[in-house]
């Protein structure tokens, strides 16, 4: 199975990279862009046959290592290979 974890900052947490992208776009003439956010994607290949167990394991990975639950949120997607 393949897992994809999308990690983003919680609402209200400053994202300096997204701010820099928004400013750079405006400087390049793309003035209608507002509210830029950045999402980090982590893809994992899992040796699992049970979809629910795989999702639970990836959620534990996310809470333990992949995401900082204080300032970030995450979503998990599980797909067949």
Question: Which pLDDT tens digits describe the chain residue by residue (81 residues)?
Answer: 999 999 999 999 999 999 999 999 999 999 999 889 999 999 999 998 899 999 999 999 999 999 999 999 999 999 976
CATH fold of 2-79 reads Mth169; Chain: A , (3.30.1280)
| Contact (Cβ atoms closer than 8 angstroms) between residue 1 and residue 48 | yes
SS3 23: helix
Please give the pLDDT value at position 81.
Answer: 65
| C-alpha–C-alpha distance, residues 7 and 75, integer Å | 7
Query: Measured at the alpha carbon of residue 71, what is the angle toward residues 69 and 77, in degrees to the nearest 5?
Result: 55
């Amino acid at each position: 199975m393949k897992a994809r974890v999308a990690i983003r900052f919680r609402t209200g947490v400053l994202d300096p990279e997204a701010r820099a992208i928004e400013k750079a776009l405006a400087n390049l003439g793309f003035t209608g862009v507002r509210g830029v956010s950045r999402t980090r994607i982590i893809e994992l290949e899992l040796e699992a046959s049970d979809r629910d167990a795989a999702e639970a394991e990836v959620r534990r990975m996310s809470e333990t290592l992949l995401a900082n639950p204080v300032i970030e949120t995450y979503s998990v997607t599980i797909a067949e290979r």
